[in-house]
Structure 1
């Protein structure tokens, strides 16, 4: 395999869903899993197709309870194409598939540069002989509504006829996640099918409650020196089928091209999704021309974002970048969508938007700022809903949901299933209010990277103000300590959602929550000081903010409590009172203890009793903030955070974390790169391989982990370089990491396209492309240089 291609050989039913997720093709508007075209959904294969932002909410009865869940909808399957051969006596044989016939030389090749998936194999048919098949598919990166599948059949030493059945299948459910099987999974209703001669079938449907109209049209044509013996369009109730019979002989391959258009009623500048789909597929060019324009679109993308890292690490990073671009492409800038935690690759987490944007936007800001802005707009449009949620809870400001979908209401479950015990348990994850701080952080970072003061002074300011207002209102002054406290919240760890034996969920003074809340308040106050007086007055009037509130915000931003114990930052108040876990005993007893919460619950115990974390919590602070900024934050709060305290904190939590989230090793890798360099590579290596090796044992088949993939790119771009965009400059503080000692990438910064950053042999090279823009100021280790457009500057790094 080359640095641009990934290959899977053979056929293993046990790993097919993993391969399907990793071979997903998409364009930011919709994506289709890398399933075999001849198979409908089942236990082995799952040909899911998902349109960004296409959600539906249904009610289920589970364990005697009525629950409502909103899901990213699995749309009708456009991929179906099966085939069979005519037997010697004239009857048709069985439809060929890996499960029914001997399969030779089965291979999938995912080409990242071209954005294509090619499958080649040979079927041995007992009566007829060997049939060679090569299939190439694409989801068009230039036209976001088109996809295509080319299948080339070759007869090896025999002649006869082959029947091809090309279908659109509307009999689909959301069935990718086995543990959701007790839920209502049917979202596609009112299926209609039809045909337009001579080559096109169509299917339209609606989602059950969100009432989104979805339409697909498929044009299937044969490229051969012999015309088809027959071609029949057969719309039936839930499937639109096109059947073709084609003569085949040695040296005379048969090529079948299936071109598909997808539209929904959420699209802009259309009238009728069905009419648009049929018209679009009717005028679409042939497969070679589609492929050429698709490759050209991918080439433009790679010019903007390609990353150069030698060896296997670089190969994996490019693979991660490929999947980020398929979920969040320039087409995303035209959509009202957020960052789906599992991409458009599967149905885990129901396609919801969590806080993964915190790991995605820092990368996108410097490559596709227009996409970052659109993702922030998704949050802005749901600001009124977040303010209503805060008001319903008796709070001011905006309380964003932990899980968001179509309209920004809280989509987190109230009950969740533990597969290890089979029991349904209360779900308190909606208490992770730190998602609001993540949104504020992303607003600030986007504006620093782009210089987009227009956004910062308008929509960004509104979000910051309402999030800051929520934190200021949630914080309560404790007269005994003179400190403000935030009670009843849950931090990023997720294992701890209450105190042992407590009647109420939530924890007090989670350090990550409190410190990031203080950061939000500080930055919002700073922004208000920068705003022109007229804009500040207009903003106060718009959000109904009284200037008398601001001194209180200032006070909270300086006196929020951060608990400590044993010379380290406490994850939350009372963490030191928890019991120590016998880690060695649990590692010896179980193959994997990543999901320690499920293991303990199945044993009748609770992880709430122990000093054990699912993922980085306190250490997330070292992921978001540079050492200097973190020290300043703690100093503003009246705490001394020197290197010794931080290093002790890092060591303390490293020994007590099970890494039950793919984000965990990523965060630890970045933190260790600055705190304990020798151990950083092990964490970075695991973060790189999290999905391709499916280290969580089956979860990747339900969708890739988009935050972890984008986070590895950010680890190189920001973590290894120490890159910060602040005070109208690029700040750099490189970290030597021997396993990743050479790297290069380009960024878009303040109107400069393609600012090059390259690290090698103790030097950092910064090149600014020629343009009419202003020079760039770069700050490194106390040195400041100004680099004009068309110039390159090489900075020598100190050994320390």
Structure 2
């Protein structure tokens, strides 16, 4: 990146094209469109995908002799196709002779400059700009300027809408059913606008696109329509050295949208009324300026460029335009088809950032979960339990969407997938609810939605726990932890592990917070909820009993990842690192060798260490002591060192967590992991996965390391807690945040001083806790704390 606000690529590299398309995607929370060349088609190098938030479709596939059902984020009809030729030549299909691709992060504009040389040596300079409007989220615009360098004569331009798209953006899914759309009509209306409609195969989803193609000089216009496609064919007279501009303005609506009569009528009206490219750019840029003001973070360190890139893609995936759509945060953004566009637990990493920047967006994510509370209750009942069991993968209606089989590309075998046993996703939802409440003080949300979810998640954990009389403790059995590599005991016939430490400690925390939530509610609302849920004193007493006596295993003076972990073998790390330079997918390597990672003390990513990511060291000690374990100050250091030696960081989230937990013990190592997390997608550290969609949790988590980790910022006990520990490479940090009802809270940290200031308003003072010092800051005040 040449600067913090520009992502630039020179030339054309077919190997990197997928990565560039994902990182140069443009979006606005309603949709995201990959940065593919307008003349390209899905051919194994390019993949011009556009994805609309919440638009899923369910189809069946036959895999390894079994019928499986998958719900996918639908690849929308392609709005982008535009190509050209000097009259009598061949339509330009790429690649150009020369090319510069530049993404302006400040304004959300993707620009391209390319030199095209045809088979007769005619040279044409092509300059393009495109945007997905932040002011009008249903609009996409592509401006193309053509300058003949050594020829004059007619120029032909083809601008099309293509409904013949499929979901083929992930190589390992290509044996599955890929067709999710069927044509529902296309044509040109009386105003000369192209239109196209498509229906989802299985869901009641209709998508309508309407395109206006305009030029800055007279053009002869023809049309070409066939099933699933409509195109404008323009012919313009050009002269050598004289530029001509063609602007394509496309409106997109779906049957899920509100305040419309039909998707096609809404798209026609918007496409017809939209202003020029420059007019749309002005209002679009104004919205981006507002977003960047609310995301201000000044960090003094070398290589800070990806900071804005990560924020940019977060704001493109989830924005004010997402709030009323009833959508969650897909783990891979809206940038590709990895994980089929499903919602996992990655919001745990994202909402920690949004709570203090855009709490209205965080609330919308939690509302998505609340609308699916009945589906979570249904899943708990199917497990023979009470309460709510949220799914590991969620999409349209909240049922479990985790795949039943997954392909190991190294062995070519389809294997059983047990990732649905990661029940800790429910605790992540509960954690997000409580953190949102701590950040905003939004008791109305807690009373109307948050507390109900908390109580039902707590009820699930109480119901899932079984009492072990021989050990005199409660156990939670048959689950997976965040590690994901270990999904069964090597000596067991069934999948699942017992007493995953992270799962159990977090379940204990949920059981305690659920009762806290009841205390916070107004008395009449507390009585209503208890009556609605049939929650009596006997059940609350059980919550206390289970929450104080869940089993937490230890071995060798460290927290065990799960019960029986000490029985696993040590991997010959030296041998495997010598044979395989990259061990991130150790599970696939071992399976291809006829072995299983279940036999070894080897982790994909942080598991037990996640506790110190979510809570301060003191809070973890308190949680363990509540469970009857007198945890000392050395437990974190020992546990971190133990698992760090046995972790291959097969997930981008792993670097985020390790950077966090190492902050208090090893600043140099923490900074190393922070830098890895910050550039994970820019450098495609997972070797090809970013092309299938960005890693949104890691992107947000890397920014949050600056926002909360290195400032030591915590939200608890109705106060802001600060305990800065700046790595040596980070000289200064300054943030603008929102806390409770304050829109203007600024925190600045350097080696010697912490400065906290509030803008003038009529809100309540803010309590600050910093290393034993407590202060109250009133609106309009600035306080300096010396470290």
- TM-score class, shorter: over 0.9
Match of 1:627 among 617, 624, 628: 617
CA contact (8 A) 2:617 2:636 kept: no
RMSD: 1.1
Which aligned runs of 4 or more in structure 1 are off by greater than 3 angstroms?
A: none
User: Is the deviation greater in 735-744 or in 398-407?
Assistant: 735-744
What SS class does the counterpart of residue 52 from structure 1 fall into? strand
Q: Is the 8 A contact 2:57 2:180 kept in 1?
A: yes
Residue 245 of structure 1: how far off its partner (Å): 0.6
> Post-superposition shift, 1:654?
0.2
Query: Corresponding residue for 2:304?
Result: 314
Matched, 1:180 2:173: yes
Partner Cα separation in structure 1 for residue 728 and residue 39 of structure 2 = 47
Most deviating of 122-131 and 546-555: 122-131
Q: Where in structure 2 are the equivalents of 1:38-437 lying within 5 Å?
A: 38-86=39-87, 92-99=88-95, 103-127=96-120, 129-224=122-217, 227-228=218-219, 230-437=220-427
Give the SS at the match of 1:447. Answer: helix
Q: Is the 8 A contact 2:768 2:776 kept in 1?
A: yes
SS of structure 2 residue aligned to 1:647: helix
**2:650 aligned with 1:660:** yes
Question: What SS does the aligned partner of 1:120 have?
Answer: strand
DSSP 3-state at the match of 2:662: helix
Equivalent pair of 1:626/1:722 in contact (CA under 8 Å): no
Secondary structure of the residue aligned to 2:123 is strand
The separation in 2 between residues aligned to 1:455 and 1:313, in whole angstroms, is 40
User: Separation in 1 of the partners of 2:315 and 2:168?
Assistant: 25
TM-score by length of 2: 0.99
Cα distance in structure 2, aligned partners of 1:760 and 1:246: 60
- 1:569 counterpart = 2:559: yes
Map residues 606-625 of structure 1 onto 2, 5 A cutoff. Answer: 606-625=596-615
How many residue pairs match? The answer is 786
**1:204-255 Cα shifts (integer Å, max 9, x gaps):** 011111120100001011113xx11x20122221111001011111342110
- Counterpart position of 1:23: 24
Cα deviation for residue 747 of structure 1 reads 0.6
Structure 1: stretches of 5+ with no match in the other structure: 87-91
Residues 4 and 307 of structure 2 are in contact (CA less than 8 Å); yes or no, is this contact kept in structure 1? no
3-state SS, counterpart of residue 137 of structure 2: coil
Q: Quick check: 1:10 aligned with 2:11?
A: yes
Q: Is the contact between residue 307 and residue 318 of structure 1 (CA under 8 Å) also seen in structure 2?
A: no
| Residue 129 of structure 1: how far off its partner (Å) | 2.5
Give the secondary structure class of the aligned counterpart of 2:605.
coil
Q: Is the 8 A contact 2:678 2:703 kept in 1?
A: no
Residue pairs, 1:677-692, within 5 angstroms: 677-692=667-682
Contact 1:485 1:561 in 2 (8 A): yes
CA distance in 2, matches of 1:11, 1:312: 28
Corresponding position: 1:474 with 2:464: yes
CA distance in 1, matches of 2:399, 2:596: 29
Q: CA deviation at 1:128?
A: 5.0
Task: Assess if the C-alpha contact under 8 Å between 2:722 and 2:769 holds in 1.
Answer: yes
- Matches of 1:62 and 1:794, distance apart in 2: 63
**Aligned match of 2:773:** 783
| TM-score scaled by length of structure 1 | 0.97
3-state SS of the aligned residue for 2:131?
A: strand
Map Cα deviations across residues 750-774 of structure 1 (whole Å, 9 max, x no partner): 1111211111232111111111111
Q: C-alpha distance in 2, partners of 1:542/1:738? A: 54
How far apart in 2 are the matches of 1:209 and 1:275? Answer: 23
Secondary structure of residue in 2 paired with 1:290? helix
Q: Distance in 1 between matches of 2:604 and 2:349?
A: 18
Question: What is the CA–CA distance in structure 1 between the aligned matches of 2:765 and 2:144, rounded to whole Å?
Answer: 52
Q: CA deviation at 1:435?
A: 0.1
Deviation at 1:788, TM superposition (A): 1.4
The reply to whether residue 752 of structure 1 matches residue 753 of structure 2 is: no
SS of alignment partner, residue 374 of structure 1? helix
For residue 744 of structure 1, give the secondary structure of its aligned residue in structure 2. Answer: strand
The CA distance in 1 between the partners of 2:139 and 2:417, in whole Å, is 40
Secondary structure in structure 2 of the residue aligned to 1:54? strand
Deviation at 1:200, TM superposition (A): 1.3
Change (3 A) 1:576 1:178: same
Which range moves more in the overlay, 551-560 or 522-531? 522-531
- Aligned partners of 1:170 and 1:191 also within 8 Å: no
Q: Structure 1 residues 537, 198: CA separation in 2 closer, same or farther (over 3 Å shift)?
A: closer
Question: Aligned partners of 1:45, 1:659: CA distance in 2, in Å?
Answer: 29
What residue in structure 1 maps to residue 575 of structure 2? Answer: 585
CA distance in 1, matches of 2:128, 2:721: 48
3-state SS in 2 of match to 1:53: strand
Distance 2:44 2:150 in 1: 35
* Rounded Cα–Cα distance in structure 1 between residues aligned with 2:776 and 2:329: 36
Post-superposition CA distance 1:481-523 (Å, at most 9, x none): 2111111110000000000031111001000000000000011
**8 Å CA contact retained: 2:334, 2:693:** yes
Cα distance in 2 between the residues matched to 1:415 and 1:663: 23
Query: Could you say which residue in structure 2 is the equivalent of 1:505?
Result: 495
2:709 equivalent to 1:719: yes
Aligned residue for 1:777, secondary structure, equals strand
Q: Which moved more, 1:530-539 or 1:587-596?
A: 530-539
**Is the 8 Å Cα contact of residues 270 and 276 (structure 1) preserved in structure 2?**
yes
* 8 Å contact kept, 2:163–2:183: no
Q: Give the 5 Å matches for 1:668-707.
A: 668-707=658-697
Are the counterparts in 1 of residues 139 and 249 from structure 2 also a CA contact under 8 Å?
A: yes
Deviation at 1:696, TM superposition (A): 0.9
The answer to which of 711-720 and 756-765 deviates more is 756-765
How has the CA–CA distance of structure 1 residues 222 and 311 changed in structure 2, closer, same or farther, with 3 Å as cutoff?
farther
- Correspondence 1:594 to 2:584: yes
